[in-house]
Amino acid sequence: MLVSTTTLCALFFFLFIIFKFHHRKKCCKYPIFREYPFLGMLPTILWNLWNIHDFITEALKKHHRGTAEFMGPWFTNMNYLVTSDPINVHHMMSKCFDNYVKGSEFRDIFEAFGDGIFVADSETWKYNRSLFHSVFKQRGFELFQEKIIKNKLERSLIPVLDHVQQQGSVVDLQDVFSRFTFDNICSVVLGCDPNCLSIEFPEIACEKAFDQIEECIFYRHAIPKSFWMFQKLLQVGQEKKMTKAYKEFDQFIYANIESKREDLKKGIKNIEMEDLLTTFMKVEKGSQVVVHDDKFLRDVAFNLFVAGRDTITSALTWLFYLIATHPLVEAKILQEIKENFGGINIEKKLGVDEVKKLVYLHGAICEAVRLFPPIPFERKQAIKDDILPSGHVVNPNTTILFSLYSMGRVEETWGKDCLEFKPERWISERGGIVHEPSYKFISFNAGPRTCLGKDLSFIQIKMVAVAILCRYHIQVVKGHIPIPNLSIVLLMKNGLKVRITKREI
């Protein structure tokens, strides 16, 4: 009797596996990868994680309108609709914006972002956006940023690169940019400069903690929630690193908040322009003054760090890699700089209004972030059922991933030369800048969530690019192959190793 019962249980289990497997196959009409029992399509992802962005791009090309379904392990919530179709993106980001939100699971994964603008929905998001908009669109803030960037260029970036050039040593240009942008965003948001970028290349704990948080968030996307939640409970693996980094960075932020509040009590203010932390402590809303608590300010600061540090680092790193490996593009940028700035005292002329005239450089930046978008993927969750323009059915609570990386490599969108670095595609016949629809050129997001700091980002990148290119020739070290890292921001895994030589423009 014991044997027959065991056999019967095994038979039922076997039949259940067959039923479950075929049921999932029936539900998944457009599978992006082969599915395995229990594990779903996760093994394929993990096996190709080292090259995940290119791998997904090639997989999506084989499907109708670049849209397919990913089924995760059984009994997990890792089932996604994945798309690279700009019309689908336009539908979600603009036409049916209210139906597609970040959702609670997104906020769990991006826990470190708190209730900031990148993870918030509805009224919380609207409040954050209106707050940022009121500051970012001021001419005074634009000039405030210009002053900080020029100061950082003159006192840190140029002296460091001069030292590297004189030593004749190899330098990781991505690390240089990362330190530059960290100092810069600290000055803009917190009103302090930690001096990460100096000849000594010091180890700054809060900067490394920030990097670790972003890497851990990426891994939360790649494994079932129950698994990383279990790791978090036991404090092992990536989640142990996450907790430590989270605490490290929060200590840094809260210490600055406390210091700012003390300064305000004493009446100490920056006469020319307040940093964002001070600005957001108290804001006027109609006839009332809203006082924000420390948690709100911490979340604002963290989200601004993501927006103004690693995204700029990514854009600068890939831009300089592409310029260094395309001599004709470099020559045209140098010619444009010479025509607009002349050959002497460039640093004195370098400013917001001057760099806005650099059309070809603008095109080069657009190409760099088209091919290598700083945020390589976006995630949305449907509230109600819907049908995408591609014909794919969306059920309530369906999670949709759209690959910004893949969208920049679609022939139907960008032409057969979509993999080429061609700044010319952004320049009109009259010599002006071509403005593509945001849902097509998605690197700065689209619809109501379009990046508020887009123009400020271009200004910063252009100022850094001009300051470096007019002084130095950048040469990528022979044999160095850039590999995208596994993070929510598209940086190079092993950095950008280069040699620097002096240039006379």
Coil, strand or helix at 40:
strand
Q: In the structure encoding, which two tokens stand for residue 64, read together? A: 């109708």
Q: How far is CA 479 from the centre of its chain?
A: 27
H helices of 275-310, in order, are 276-281, 294-305
Confirm if 189 and 301 have CB atoms less than 8 A apart.
yes
Task: Return the number of other C-beta atoms located less than 10 Å from residue 408's C-beta.
Answer: 24
From residue 70, alpha-carbon distances to 51, 343, 505 in Å are 17, 55, 52
Pick from 71, 115, 111: nearest CA to 238: 111
Alpha carbons 505 and 334: distance in angstroms, whole number: 7
**113-152 core/surface letters (b: 16 or more CB in 10 A; e: else):** bbbbbbbbbeeebebbeebbeebbeeeebbebbbebbbeb
381, 397 contact by CB (below 8 A): yes
Q: Any bridge partners for residue 377, and if so which? A: 403
Distance CA 56, CA 49 (A): 10
Amino acid, res. 295: K
Q: How would you write 309-331 as a 3-class SS string? A: HHHHHHHHHHHHHHHHCCHHHHH
Find, among 173, 181, 248, 176, the residue nearest to 216 by Cα: 248
Q: Is 451 annotated as a binding residue?
A: yes
Q: What is the 3-state secondary structure (H, E, C) of 108-155?
A: HHCHHHCCCCCCCCHHHHHHHHHHHHHHHCCHHHHHHHHHHHHHHHHH
Q: For residue 116, what are the contacts with CB-CB under 8 A and spacing of at least 6?
A: 128, 299, 300, 302, 303
Tokens describing residue 161: 């690169």
Q: Are the C-beta atoms of 62 and 84 separated by less than 8 Å?
A: no
Cross-strand partners of 393: 387
Residues in binding site for heme: 451
Residues in binding site: 451
